[in-house]
Structure formats: structure tokens, C-alpha cells
Amino acid sequence: MKVLITGYDGFVGKNLINTLKRKHSVDELLLYNRKNSFDDLNLFCNQADVVFHLAAAVRPKARNGYDDNIELTNRLIDCLAKNENKCPIMFASSIQAKDNNPYGISKRSEESNLISYGVKNDLNIYIFRFPNLFGKMSKPNYTSVISTFCYNTIMGMPITINDSGTMINFAFVEDVLDEVTDIVLDKKQKSADYIEFDDCYLVGLGELAYYMQTLKNNTFPQIDRKDDFYLKLKQTYNWYLKNYKMFNNLSCKG
């Protein structure tokens, strides 16, 4: 099986590669990012047995930067159609697709184009609306508040919270990708318009900041959550503790 991954070098892409290697039999990974040409994309679309479409600008500098995401999705569709490749496509969308901000609007446009393509060509399109993901390999000050809190705590930098009572639904990236790959590769369900995730942890930003201090001071939190969020948070924090230097020379503002 040959697996095409667009945006393979991002947070989700890196974790997806680990999940595929750990759980599934893959003959070849066809890895595409912004450094590749559209000729490369066309070649990969000729060879792929399944596509994981993750590539997206989350915080583009240009005002119309989200248009590039839509263009890439349309080019992916065109390349697959040109090669008469009816392989399944997984698309990394977002819960923000329900919102009317520029990012959400662009995600809905991509979803619609992919679903239309799937219906027209009788192939499986899996639209996953990701919640707020956390885990190892996320760049601080970009998409994950948890990666930012971990990095800043380790570096002795302040944590900025506008409202400590703000509640956020988080999901552990490895759990999410276990489910994604099981559905897409093991065919545990047919394609659906949208797939969301039930295994989320509702956490307040003030609570999260408190956990950072317990991790830094190696003390046990006095909050009983009755779930395994803190264990997964600790696993994430320990990864940053071992690997924080890889972000020191990066522009972590996206």
C-alpha cells in the first residue's frame, strides 16, 4: 500500500507517520509539502492507494492566504481525476468549519469540493473535523496552546491567559490518529460527510496553567479529573522537556 500525505512535515503529519509505522502495513510513503512541485503531486496521485490530505496554512500572512488551501485541495482533486485514481481521501478539517471566520469558511469550501468529487466518482471521502489537538511535535505559539504552555514553562517564560475560566475541548493527537487510520485504512466505516471525535477533555485555561506548575515542580495535582488527561499532558510535557532545543532557533510565531 502506498500512502500519500500532504503536509507531512506538520504537527499532525509527523504524528500520522508514526501512527502508520506503528499500526499499519505501508509499502511506501509519498510525502508532499510546499517544497514539492505540482508535477510531484501529479506523480504521487498516480501511485497512491490512499490520500491523507493534511496540508493547510493555519495562520497565513496574506489576507487571502486561505485561498491557497482551497487551490491545493482543488489541484489534488484534479490530479487524482486526471490519473483516474479513485482511492479514498482523508481530509483534515476543523471544528472551526462551523464558524464564519475566514479559516472556517475556507474549510467548508474544501469539504464541499471533496464531497462533490466523491459523490460524482463514487469513492470514499472522509472529512475529519479535528478539535483542539495536543501532543508531541507541535510548534509552540502556533496552533496548540498546550505546546505553547509546555515550552514557555520549560523555558521559564510567562504564560499569558486573558480569561482563566475559558474552557477548551482538547483531544490527544495519538488517540485521534489511531481512530482516523482505523477508519480509513481498516475500512471500519464507510465515508461520511463529517466525522467528529467524542474522546475530548474539557479543560479550563486556569486549570491548565496550574498543571504546568505541578509538572515543572514535579508535584502531584490536587484536582481529581477522573480521566487520563493529566497523564497525557504529562507525557506531552516530558517530550518537550527532552526536545525543547529544537524550537529555540525557530520562529515560533508561525
Active-site residue set: 103
According to DSSP, residue 5 is labeled: E
What cell numbers appear for 91 in the block? Answer: 481530509
Q: How many Å is the maximal CA-CA distance in the chain?
A: 58
Decide: 69 and 42 in contact? Cβ < 8 Å.
no
Residues for the chain: how many in total?
Answer: 254
